[in-house]
């Protein structure tokens, strides 16, 4: 069974609608887990809410309460890579917590006692997401770019060009910044469940970041998310 997670209601609204009336909803720890069939696949859809703790708690509950054997997170992010623009799509190869620093006890970014800082996305899931995103963007036309690489996660909405410069210096490979991905990937790693993360770039993490966020979410990000995940579900091996 596939688990689909997102932080904001807009990001799963269309998929929830696709599940139709047969959906059953379980409420655990202030989260709703919607269980049903989605484009031929048994799925659980849930909103994590925003931030690493919220995302980790939701992921752990998802994996304990349902026989979920793969997880996809979909959402928006701020672009930090040099050629990453608003409207582009990023598929994560790896995820790192840019705000984690237990030095000098552990190297910067390393998760204490896990001996790792970067959680890798499942290769097969990420490759399929990338292919479906490419097909979706081609069909839609336009100039949106598609990227695959490192996603940086932290408990901070970045809307400051100076912070972006710092991030680029510290994590030069990072394509975008968001607030949940690495937390989901860490919990999936600890439970031994493959996962992947898909992000549409909503802003460039600078002073203009909050502008038109709601409009972008409704008119672009949710359309991309549903369009790409519908293809993904149809192509996913049972």
List, by residue number, the catalytic residues.
11, 203
Distance CA 76, CA 61 (A): 23
Full DSSP string of 90-142: EEEEEEEETT---TTTS-TTPBTTTTBSEEEPPHHHHHHHHHHHHHHHHHH-S
Give the nearer residue to ligand SAH in terms of CB position, either 167 or 236.
167
Shortest Å, Cβ 177 to ligand SAH: 5
Buried b vs exposed e over 25-52: b needs ≥16 C-beta within 10 Å? eeeeeebebbbbebbebebbbbbbbbbb
The partner residues of 200 in beta bridges, in order of sequence, read: 76, 89
Q: Does 75 bind ligand SAH (CB under 6 A)?
A: yes
Give the nearer residue to ligand SAH in terms of CB position, either 36 or 79.
79
Give the nearer residue to ligand SAH in terms of CB position, either 94 or 209.
209
Q: Does 76 bind ligand SAH (CB under 6 A)?
A: yes
Site string for ligand SAH, 128-157 (x = CB under 6 A): -----------------------------x
Point out which residues bind ligand SAH (CB under 6 A). Answer: 7-8, 50, 75-78, 157-159, 177-180, 202-203, 205, 209, 213
């Amino acid at each position: 069974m596939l688990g689909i997670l997102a932080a904001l209601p807009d990001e799963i609204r269309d998929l929830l609608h696709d599940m139709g009336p047969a959906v059953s909803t379980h409420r655990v720890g202030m989260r709703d887990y919607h269980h049903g069939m989605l484009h031929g696949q048994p799925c659980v859809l849930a909103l994590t809410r925003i931030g690493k703790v919220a995302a980790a708690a939701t992921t752990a509950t998802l994996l304990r309460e349902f026989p979920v054997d793969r997880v996809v997170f979909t959402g928006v992010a701020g672009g930090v890579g040099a050629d990453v623009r608003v409207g582009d799509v990023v598929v994560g190869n790896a995820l790192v917590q840019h705000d984690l620093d237990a030095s000098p006890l552990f190297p910067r970014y390393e998760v204490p006692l896990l001996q790792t800082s970067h959680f890798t996305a499942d290769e097969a899931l990420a490759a399929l997401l990338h292919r479906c995103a490419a097909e979706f963007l081609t069909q839609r036309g336009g100039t949106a770019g598609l990227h695959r690489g490192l996603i940086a996660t932290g408990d901070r909405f970045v809307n400051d060009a100076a912070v972006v410069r710092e991030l680029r210096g510290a994590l030069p490979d990072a394509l975008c910044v968001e607030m949940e991905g690495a937390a989901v990937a860490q919990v999936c790693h600890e439970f031994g469940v493959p996962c992947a993360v898909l992000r549409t770039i909503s802003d460039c993490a600078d002073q203009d970041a909050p502008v038109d966020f709601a409009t972008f979410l409704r008119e672009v990000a949710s359309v991309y998310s549903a369009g790409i995940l519908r293809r993904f579900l149809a192509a996913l091996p049972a």
